[in-house]
Amino acid sequence: MNASFITTSLIAVAAAVGSVNSLAQEGSPSAAELQARQPVAQATGSSLTRAQVVAEMQQARARGALLTGEVGSDVPAFVTRSTLSREEVRAEAVKALHNGTLVLGEAS
């Protein structure tokens, strides 16, 4: 290879590395800046004791009033019991698999 080609290549690589480093330093905030952006939880007073809160939660769970699923979902949790035996559920799953009607994943 020719010496001027090698020199030119080294200069181009050095310039590219230098520009990437300067962009990285300008574009990314420091750890202190990231920490300063985090919201700070404020302590609030409560009129309920921990035991009272736990009791309310247990009552809500017993009524089926606790929310489940995605954040912001307003679908209440309902506890239901299956009327099918384990063998019946398995037989239904095998039948659905053979028929090609078994839905896998989140598809519905």
Query: What average pLDDT score do residues 57-69 get?
Result: 79
Residue 91 is predicted with a pLDDT of 94
Q: Please state the rounded mean pLDDT for residues 11-38.
A: 66
Confidence band for 67, pLDDT divided at 50, 70 and 90: low
Q: What confidence score (pLDDT) does residue 80 get?
A: 74
| 3-state SS assignment for residue 78 | coil
Mean pLDDT value across residues 31-40: 74
Count CA within 13 A, CB hemisphere, residue 91: 5
What is the pLDDT at residue 90? 93
Q: Does pLDDT of 22 surpass 70?
A: no
52 backbone dihedrals φ, ψ, rounded to 5°: -65, -40
- Average pLDDT of the residues in 54-74: 77
Residue 80 amino acid letter? T
49 DSSP assignment: -
